[in-house]
Amino acid sequence: MKTRIPIALLALLIGGCAEDIPDDPTWHGEIEVLLTANCGRCHGETMAPGVPPDLRLDTYDDAFEFRERIRARAVTYEETGARQMPPDSYLSNDQKEILGIWIDNGAPLGPPE
């Protein structure tokens, strides 16, 4: 019996491999877009109920200040058992990796685009 891989899954696998992981992600390059898109609706101008009031993730200064808390909740939660962020969706493995590298590198701002 042949194993048939659904086209959609195949497209997802190929698509997933195509995305490059940059060595030196920066706020202006990758991170602002990533955090604004995935976290901004709850940690932005409008704060979701229960979000610590100072925890905005749509500005560099706050994201820099809270970088280790971001790591704990959005990157390493599987190892530590911390509550995952975003609570109602997932970052892709690539997105987690990019975020982790950015924090490892000291969360650089980078040149404006």
85 binds ligand HEC (CB under 6 A): yes
56 binds ligand HEC (CB under 6 A): no
Q: What angle do CA 39, 75, 113 make, to 5 degrees?
A: 55
Binding window for ligand HEC (CB under 6 A); candidates: 4-12, 18-26, 34-42, 102-110 = 34-42
How far is 94 from 28, CA to CA, in rounded Å?
A: 18
31 binds ligand HEC (CB under 6 A): no
How far is 43 from 22, CA to CA, in rounded Å?
A: 25
| Structure tokens, 71 | 């790591």
SS3 content of the chain, % helix, strand, coil (to 5): 50, 0, 50
Residue of the chain from 31, 56, 70, 103 that contacts ligand HEC (CB under 6 A): 70
96 binds ligand HEC (CB under 6 A): no
Residue of the chain from 41, 59, 67, 94 that contacts ligand HEC (CB under 6 A): 41
Nearest approach, Cβ of residue 2 and ligand HEC (Å): 40
| Structure tokens, 95 | 């997105």
